[in-house]
Structure 1
Amino acid sequence: MIISNLVAGLGTSSLTAHTVLNRDIDRYRQIMREDPAIKRETDYIRENIGTKASIDEVTDDYRLWQSITTAFGLEDQAYAKAMLKKVIREGATDREAMANQMVDPRYKELASFFEYDKLGMLNAQSPKWVDKLVEKYETAQFEKAVGESNENLRLAMYFERKVKSVKSWYQILGDKAMYQVALKMGGLPKEYAQVDIDKQAEYFKDKLPLEDLKDPKKLEKLLQSFLARADAEDNSAMANPTVQIMQSATNTGFSPIVSIDPTLFLKL
């Protein structure tokens, strides 16, 4: 993809790439929108979402369903149609709805966006709603393309986008990608994940208050800290001969097996 090649040209430092990318982010996003592969899919969304009378018809359209799940970062769960249809049908208004019982906030975002429990597929008749869906798809694909060249940069972009709507630290702890960023922001090892969830929430509330994460200037400094630590860890790992051998041995070209994280179903 064009964007992944451009990001690769920004250098190996995540911190430097982040600075350069943000300096001209609108131009990079426009390049992404004009990518033929992306435009074909966004055109397909616009042409077909409004023709669906039910969520069953949406999931039966493989191409459309892949785009929608991608828009919400759930492409690896696209096969779990029964579960996702239940999430969408129940919406997010009722406290007992499935989306509100799941730790991962992506499910609630999906349910809230469709409002299927109130409107069915009526939202799909609104050009503004369709525009928002297309924008979500483009954003997800942009971050994915960035991640093909620099995964740390993708994580930083994702965190910056999602934290704006976060209302509690439990939402961050329930989002694997955001949690990775938070750990490095706080200078914590990955083993910290074994600590009791409530104790983690209390620690992060004190160490990284949400009001700081929602302040653009403070957030930028925290993201720079994350990227600097991530770069340092990557450089340290690459300098390890054992890691180099393992990386060479496992670079088979096959994608990893994806499974549903059981913590998604835990009720806080």
Structure 2
Amino acid sequence: MSFQPILPIGGYAGWRFLERTMERQQEVFNKSATVKRDLDYFAEKIGKVKSADEVVSDYRLLKVALGAFGLQDDIGSKFFIRKVLSEGTSANDALANKLADKSYFKLADAFGFGGSGPPHTQEPGFADKIAKAYRERSFEVAVGEQNNDMRLALNIGRDLGEIAGNDSSDRAKWFSVLGSGPMRQVFDKAFGLPTAFAAIDLDRQVEVYREKAKAMFGSSEAAQFTDPDKRDKLIKMFLIRSEIASGFGGSSPAQTALTLLRR
């Protein structure tokens, strides 16, 4: 049995515990037999792979490839993943360039099929780069099996700074947030938005996000989330509101309200 992350309590207090113990827990998790076996196989085989078909037809290679980008639930969608990988990202009409979830773009871009040159699988260090991402994502999945809110918080801690810091327009950054299922769950909950909010016009969703961000963080710009303190405040509000919605977890209503007031 692989190592299971230790999460003795939920909510923001549980998040702070996970932050304090993350390095050690991740280290132990990475040494588990399952993770090591997956990555040893990937390292042995991936350098010989020259096509998307070879990845998709090998379950163990595909497991690591998808897991490294948080797409492990697509393991059964072989036709779709083959198309994403084989078309690559060079052509404007490539499937990965059209999908709202940019995880598929990152997957296709990392492997480099569909371009004029050799795929990136042939490059030195490719297996190590994918292995690093796989370890991080697999740990998140293990955390999520115990507490999905913690998994969503880990996702924000990893991905939001990258989106906030890129050179695209502010609207494009907010669209990237809205296009990520995990990130929009965090923002919607932190902003106190109802489930029906996701059904309204996308341009209006961006405007609401900007209004809520201005009220909560002092700026409507997505770029502000390059600041770790702003990301931590977002995570804190998400976890507290989620805890309230689920019936306060292990905290009393008074304790949760006090934590909220101290944000």
TM-score, normalised relative to structure 2: 0.82
1:53 CA drift (Å): 2.8
Report % sequence identity.
33
State whether residues 161 and 227 of structure 2, in contact with CA within 8 Å, keep that contact through their aligned partners in structure 1: no
The 2-side partners of 1:57 and 1:196 are apart by 40
The 2-side partners of 1:4 and 1:188 are apart by 32
- Correspondent of 1:217 among 229, 232, 241: 229
1:146 CA drift (Å): 0.4
1:216 CA drift (Å): 0.4
- Correspondent of 1:201 among 191, 198, 206: 206
The 2-side partners of 1:149 and 1:15 are apart by 15
Partner residue, 1:184:
189
Partner residue, 1:231:
243
TM-score, normalised relative to structure 1: 0.81
Structure 1 residues 30 and 127, CA gap change in structure 2 (3 angstroms): farther
CA RMSD between the two structures: 2.0
The 1-side partners of 2:161 and 2:90 are apart by 20
Partner residue, 2:43:
46
1:88 CA drift (Å): 1.6
Structure 1 residues 130 and 5, CA gap change in structure 2 (3 angstroms): closer
1:164 CA drift (Å): 2.4
The 2-side partners of 1:87 and 1:20 are apart by 38
Partner residue, 1:93:
90
State whether residues 50 and 121 of structure 2, in contact with CA within 8 Å, keep that contact through their aligned partners in structure 1: no
The 1-side partners of 2:76 and 2:118 are apart by 21
Alignment gaps of 5+ in structure 2: 214-220, 251-263
**Pair 1:143-2:148 in alignment:** no
Partner residue, 1:262:
none
Query: How many residues are aligned here?
Result: 235
The 1-side partners of 2:2 and 2:74 are apart by 26
Structure 1 residues 158 and 135, CA gap change in structure 2 (3 angstroms): same
Which segment drifts farther, 78-87 or 111-120? 111-120
Structure 1 residues 20 and 85, CA gap change in structure 2 (3 angstroms): same
Partner residue, 2:61:
64
Structure 1 residues 120 and 14, CA gap change in structure 2 (3 angstroms): farther
Aligned residue identity for 1:6 = I
Structure 1 residues 236 and 30, CA gap change in structure 2 (3 angstroms): closer
Structure 2 residue matching 1:117: 3-state secondary structure: coil
Structure 2 residue matching 1:229: 3-state secondary structure: helix
The 2-side partners of 1:188 and 1:43 are apart by 44
1:117 CA drift (Å): 2.4
- Superposed, 1:166-177 pairs within 5 Å as 166=163, 167=168, 168-177=173-182
